[in-house]
Structure 1
Amino acid sequence: MVQNGRDGFQAIAPVARSLESTPMLDFIRLDASDNVVTLTKPVQTGHDVDGVATTSMIPKGHKMAIRAIAKGEAVRKYAQVIGYASVDIAPGDHVHTQNTEFRNTTATYEFSTDLRPAEMVPESARDSFMGYRRKNGSVGTRNYIAITTSVNCSATAARRIADHFGPDELAAYPNVDGVVAFVHGTGCGMAGDGDGFEALQRVSWGYARHPNHAGVLMVGLGCEINQIDWLLEAYGLERGPMFQTMNIQDVAGLRRTIELGIEKVKAMLPIANEAKREPCPASELKVALQCGGSDAMSGITANPALGYACDLLVAQGGTGVLAETPEIYGAEHLLTRRAIDEKVGQKLIERIRWWEDYTLRNKGSMDNNPSPGNKRGGLTTILEKSLGAAAKGGTTPLTGVYKYGEPVTAKGFTFMDSPGYDPASVTGQIASGCNVVVFTTGRGSAFGSKPAPCIKIATNTDMYTRMVEDMDINAGAMLTDGVTLEEKGREIYETILRVASGEKSKSEAQGLGDEEFVPWQIGAVM
């Protein structure tokens, strides 16, 4: 299915099963119908690319027209439309923002026409990892005590409680991964109902019940919109030794709240330390599929490799959770074809329509993304970025679509609505129950998350080498070293199992995750 050429190779779209490569190619053609190719190294004017001379210098990762593209004609990559020529484009021209324009999608949606169920591994032969099995049946990959806040006004109290528990305080509790404060900038000055309030409540509930938390202390002010008691009532949460709440106003001030909070956490620590890892089936893993700081190689190496790993996890009975709705815009028609039924597909379209309205009423555009860094990496429009981003979801059927922070209950490949902003998106995925995060990046990212550990995958070898202290896996080896998609996908899957069992990812080892809790703020601040 893949043909190697003199200077490059032709490959089917990377959402498919196979990608072969030869090291140090000049270009990549992803489908025979594409009218652009992606360069794997910078080239000067007059450089021969598959028999076509470049008309200017073109940076690495950027696109070159392989044939003439008339003004108004579709620019095609991945055998899909990624934009339209804003001027006549000649063969050999650099194809990017200077000559390519975005248009809103007008896709005709099909449902359940591309169903490729995973070949399920028998339960008796399934892989396992060493996890924490909780009393409610859920399984964690880490063992934290969380200090959560209902409102920004209690953020200082929460941080000071957590800060008390440094290495010396925790030395006697080797099975406790840490005490973490999850603070945010909202919770009041907002409507008491509607999208924004409901999203915050779902995040609060999701972190309060997350399987990576052995204990939770919720801290509020007392007079905020986001009342702790409302949350407890709405979600049926019950106070107990490992789930406690308090308000600064009721306790009588900041100092007393901090002192009382420290005492409450001290009482939780011996109980939390009793938790022991035990063998758990891979079906208990719920993995957040995330990308940030993308480049043109994201959709060619790391994202499809993560998609392959997702397929392996689904075959084990596990769950992959794709997110970032603006970053599947223009590729959603490929996902509706994979929906298990029309109801699931329509849920995805409803989220797309919501985003079109959301950006319109805020005088924005769905093409606000790609970011400047994405564009420097060769991504021209959101359509191009989305087609590459969707590859993280592999090839198996789409079994469920969820609102931001809503509990993901379906097994298999699923989707959760979120912004493309990485911290806000991952916060929602963790609230939805993800106990591991896998994050692909082409430009480089210093992101990390708690309580779910974050594994980072570099899309290209240059960046991996430059940021090796931050990157766990180099998917760029698929181009520079001839590593196959299947080999890299299995490496990612096996890394997920090891990290879920307690091995620290590189972002985790550097202590990232305390500042990356960012609930999505929807609506007016009043």
Structure 2
Amino acid sequence: MPADDTTAVLRLRTEDHVVVATADLPAGTVIALDGLEPFRTTAAVQQGHKVAVRSVPEGGRVLKYGQSIGRATAPIAPGDHVHSHNLGMDTGEREHEFGTARHRPTFPEGTDLPRTFLGYHRPDGRVGTRNYIGVITSVNCSASSANMIANQFAQASLDSYDNVDGVMAITHQSGCGLVPDSEGGQMLLRTLRGYANHPNFGGLLVLGLGCEMIAVQSLLEGLGLPEGTYVETMTIQDIGGVRATVRAGAEKIREMLPRVNEARREPADVAHLTLGLNCGGSDGYSGITANPALGHASDLLVAAGGTSTLAETPEVYGAEHLLTRRAVSPEVGQRLLGRIEWWKDYTAAGAGTLDNNPSPGNKAGGLTTILEKSLGAVAKGGTAELAGVYEYAEPITAKGFTFMDTPGYDPVSVTGLVAGGATVVCFTTGRGSVLGCKPTPSIKLATNTQMYERMREDMDINCGRIVDGTATLAEVGEEIYRRIVAVASGETTVSEDLDLGQDEFIPWHVGAVT
């Protein structure tokens, strides 16, 4: 029989029916926990997966984090591996309270945690963390031309412009064949306008074909771009074709570069930062290490007057009752529930359910149901009260902790957050996501040490040290906060080192294409 290995599991709550394996456990491994009779694993259990510590009858609820993560589809005994073969969805209703768990975190006094960063001050009072020139397309028909223009400005050609982070094309697959006033049309328009108005852009070239549904001028009308933002517009049909457009567009950017380069980083209060919170390629450690550590950093930023925004509505389903309790008003809580109901109808129309998530990779990493995934995902939002709920790509205007309705698909979700105004993104991953999101820097947080070591060149911080016992959750949370401020001040992330993020601009497509 395998030796006693009582340290190889993590118990999250004393009332939980399961613990999490912190190493691969062979069948027959002895587990001894305070208050429980010792037992042996009845099967091999992989790291990050769940082991039962209590008996659960068929149909009974299984608790993790002190919350239901599903119902047993077969009797479960202590030592059993708990996963898809014996755990299913719990469709029972949750009680939604409003404002019963409001909390306003306070910034710790007497520490050296930074309260300022070095950013690009825009004339309207916003502060950017990067200084890009964007070539924004109104329609897919102008995407190739936009890429040709941007590709002429590789980093080597910008060596004499130290304060310009790059020239990037913002291309997509739509802009025509849709009704501009439809839900999907308005969503795309919000997204493009959000990027056009983002404080990380110092200059813009807006490029269209000339006959599309969403016209070039519609991206700028009423936007109120601050004085000092350099904007040019072009349409391929008016200029005389692709070759003429690329020549003219490149010339416009050459004229723009010296002026955009005049911007300088200057001190700014961290209250000017808007942090996007996202996760992808989650595993059984996500809700234990990286997500709550990021939640601690989020609370620090909120306490300092900044804004953080949680997203991925399908990945808060089943845990939304924890967020409504934090809502500053019943209206804010009801707005979140309204988006959940929209998603139920949306997935049903596509012959699916919200429990189609988790993905195969999530399940291989130890996550079984969307309830379990969501309970870990909301930990990214820390403990602060919920100050606002926004639709996809809607401008984030409230200070404090907020929520944006996005899909769980990572690039689509982050595109919405950046369109809403996120100037830094923190992205937690257990399986190893490599997403970038220019013009906003993306900080990658690994949930476990094994993946971090395997993908060290793609990860910024190893949060697996929390389970390894070499760092506390609070210590890693403070490290994340410090990195947020450093990156906002110009320190590059690993995804920026690889120049990732241009191809990950993927707006959410909803509705008919005619």
What aligned pairs does 1:98-117 form with structure 2 within 5 A after superposition?
98-104=85-91, 106-117=93-104
The offset of 1:418, in angstroms, is 0.1
Q: Which residue in the other structure is 2:198 paired with?
A: 210
Q: Which residue in the other structure is 1:21 paired with?
A: none
Q: Which residue in the other structure is 1:274 paired with?
A: 262
Matched, 1:38 2:26: no
The offset of 1:232, in angstroms, is 2.6
The offset of 1:250, in angstroms, is 1.6
Q: For the residues of structure 1 that align with 2:190 and 2:388, how far apart are their CA atoms? A: 17
Runs of 4+ in 1 over 4 A off after TM superposition: 236-241
CA deviations on 1:454-491 (whole Å, 9 max, x unpaired) are 10010011111111111110100011133111100000
Match among 82, 97, 113 for residue 84 of structure 2: 97
SS in 2 for 1:37: strand
1:64 partner amino acid:
V
2:66 partner amino acid:
A
CA deviations on 1:137-189 (whole Å, 9 max, x unpaired) are 11000010000111111000100000011234212211101000011111112
1:513 partner amino acid:
G
Q: For the residues of structure 2 that align with 1:263 and 1:335, how far apart are their CA atoms? A: 50
SS in 2 for 1:87: coil
Q: Which residue in the other structure is 2:43 paired with?
A: 56
SS in 2 for 1:263: helix
Match among 325, 335, 345 for residue 347 of structure 1: 335
Q: For the residues of structure 2 that align with 1:464 and 1:152, how far apart are their CA atoms? A: 37
Q: For the residues of structure 1 that align with 2:358 and 2:326, how far apart are their CA atoms? A: 25
- Greater shift, 52-61 or 304-313, is seen at 52-61
SS in 2 for 1:469: helix
Tell me, which stretches of 5 or more residues in structure 1 are unaligned? 1-5, 9-24
1:266 partner amino acid:
R
1:255 partner amino acid:
R
Q: For the residues of structure 2 that align with 1:231 and 1:500, how far apart are their CA atoms? A: 27
Q: CA 1:238–1:504 in 2, change beyond 3 Å: closer, same or farther?
A: closer
Q: Is residue 241–residue 268 contact of structure 1 (8 Å, CA) maintained in 2?
A: no
What aligned pairs does 1:315-326 form with structure 2 within 5 A after superposition?
315-326=303-314
Q: CA 1:232–1:238 in 2, change beyond 3 Å: closer, same or farther?
A: farther
Q: For the residues of structure 2 that align with 1:101 and 1:481, how far apart are their CA atoms? A: 32
What aligned pairs does 1:153-192 form with structure 2 within 5 A after superposition?
153-192=141-180
Q: Is residue 123–residue 227 contact of structure 2 (8 Å, CA) maintained in 1?
A: no
The offset of 1:242, in angstroms, is 0.7
Matched, 1:296 2:278: no
Q: Is residue 61–residue 69 contact of structure 2 (8 Å, CA) maintained in 1?
A: yes
Q: CA 1:119–1:424 in 2, change beyond 3 Å: closer, same or farther?
A: same
Q: For the residues of structure 1 that align with 2:398 and 2:229, how far apart are their CA atoms? A: 31
Q: Is residue 308–residue 486 contact of structure 1 (8 Å, CA) maintained in 2?
A: yes
SS in 2 for 1:294: coil
Q: For the residues of structure 2 that align with 1:284 and 1:56, how far apart are their CA atoms? A: 52
The offset of 1:58, in angstroms, is 1.0
Tell me, which stretches of 5 or more residues in structure 2 are unaligned? 33-37
Q: Which residue in the other structure is 1:127 paired with?
A: 115
TM-score (norm 1): 0.93
TM-score (norm 2): 0.95
Q: CA 1:129–1:239 in 2, change beyond 3 Å: closer, same or farther?
A: closer
SS in 2 for 1:493: helix
Let me know the Cα RMSD of the aligned residues. Answer: 1.6
Percent identity between the two aligned chains: 55
Match among 462, 475, 484 for residue 496 of structure 1: 484
1:49 partner amino acid:
I
Q: Which residue in the other structure is 1:69 paired with?
A: 56
Match among 447, 454, 458 for residue 470 of structure 1: 458
The offset of 1:191, in angstroms, is 2.3
Q: Is residue 111–residue 338 contact of structure 1 (8 Å, CA) maintained in 2?
A: yes
Q: For the residues of structure 2 that align with 1:281 and 1:32, how far apart are their CA atoms? A: 41
Q: CA 1:340–1:230 in 2, change beyond 3 Å: closer, same or farther?
A: same
SS in 2 for 1:297: coil
Q: Is residue 38–residue 62 contact of structure 1 (8 Å, CA) maintained in 2?
A: yes
Q: Which residue in the other structure is 1:248 paired with?
A: 236
Q: For the residues of structure 1 that align with 2:93 and 2:199, how far apart are their CA atoms? A: 41
Q: CA 1:424–1:65 in 2, change beyond 3 Å: closer, same or farther?
A: same
The offset of 1:241, in angstroms, is 7.1
- Greater shift, 154-163 or 29-38, is seen at 29-38
Q: For the residues of structure 2 that align with 1:345 and 1:371, how far apart are their CA atoms? A: 28
Q: Is residue 487–residue 493 contact of structure 2 (8 Å, CA) maintained in 1?
A: yes
2:480 partner amino acid:
I
- Greater shift, 220-229 or 177-186, is seen at 220-229
Q: Is residue 114–residue 482 contact of structure 2 (8 Å, CA) maintained in 1?
A: no
